[in-house]
DNA sequence: CTGTTATAGTTCACACTATGAATGAATTAA
DNA sequence: TTAATTCATTCATAGTGTGAACTATAACAG
């Protein structure tokens, strides 16, 4: 993650947040908090950073003035495009280093590991 | 890691640091910095936390009074024993959730993934 | 032997991630 | 129309981490 921060002049959390706008037109702090799995007050700070950098903008929901609607700006769109391009490149490279005949096997094994870890996590909750 | 912190009343970094004393009798801040892969000033803080909690202690190296020798206390030893017991339990559970006939396969695949990730990391350095 | 030069550790300012309590504002429900 | 709920923000707090400046000690070179 350090790479991304340095490369794109964005703290890690802001980068992750910005990328959420690829999927949806408008996001609310509450929704972002859920997606990023952090608390709302944290989202406030992240958002402020992105607004200060002119990557997203904020309007009030006309339906319910308690809620804030966040949308990405043109600058922000440019930035996410750059980031996604970079990430795709990495993903492609990682993939190309793994022989095609090993890939399904690898994925299956990762699932096995994941399932095991999650079941232990269950036990501890 | 959150589990450990809560369970053992130790911040993550302090826990990791304390566990280093399983291997060696005396550690220096410099050596700890290398093992934890952080900067020396960070180690100073971590160490102070552990000393305050009476888990490690500090003496001056009689050979070279620039260097500080850190060693674990009885309390600290007790704590590491607890932690290691807990960790062993988890490791055992994780392992027991993975069918023995899959284990070597899993390890092999993780190596494949690791190698791939590392070679990409190389490219970017 | 004495002045560099290097090494070990600390302090401090800074940046970032994250939580939770308290607050203000708007909405919903009784 | 109160009362309860919801949304977002602010603030205090805790933690991880870096890097520059500084102190003290040790090693080295003339």
> Domain holding A96: CATH number?
1.10.10.10
Average pLDDT taken over every residue of chain A: 94
Q: What is the pLDDT of residue A3?
A: 46
The one-character DSSP state at B99 is: -
Residues of chain B with pLDDT under 70: 1-4
Domain total in chain B: 1
Dist. CA A48–CA A45, nearest whole Å: 5
The one-character DSSP state at B55 is: S
Q: What is the pLDDT of residue B63?
A: 95
Average pLDDT estimate for A34-60 = 98
Domain that holds residue A24: 2-124
Residues B19 and B4 sit within 8 Å (Cβ to Cβ): no
Strand C contacting residues by CB (7 Å): A 5, 11-14, 36-39, 41-42, 45-46, 64-66; B 28-30, 40-41, 43-45, 47-48, 58, 66-68
Q: What is the pLDDT of residue A115?
A: 94
Residue A72, H or E segment: strand A68-72
Say yes or no: ipTM exceeds 0.90.
Answer: no
Residues A105 and B105 sit within 8 Å (Cβ to Cβ): yes
Predicted confidence band of residue A4 (pLDDT cuts 50, 70, 90): low
Nearest CA in chain B to A90: B120
Q: What is the pLDDT of residue A21?
A: 97
């Amino acid at each position: 993650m350090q790479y991304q921060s340095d490369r794109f002049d964005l703290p890690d959390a802001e980068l992750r947040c910005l990328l959420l706008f690829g999927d949806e037109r408008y996001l609310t702090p509450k929704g972002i908090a859920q997606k990023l799995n952090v608390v709302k007050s944290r989202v406030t700070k992240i958002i402020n950073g992105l607004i200060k950098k002119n990557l997203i903008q904020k309007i009030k929901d006309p339906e319910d003035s308690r809620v804030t609607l966040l949308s990405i700006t043109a600058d922000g769109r440019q930035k996410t495009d750059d980031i996604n391009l970079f990430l795709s490149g990495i993903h492609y490279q990682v993939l190309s280093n793994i022989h095609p005949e090993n890939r399904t096997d690898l994925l299956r094994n990762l699932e096995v590991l994941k399932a095991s870890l999650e079941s232990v996590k269950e036990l501890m909750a």
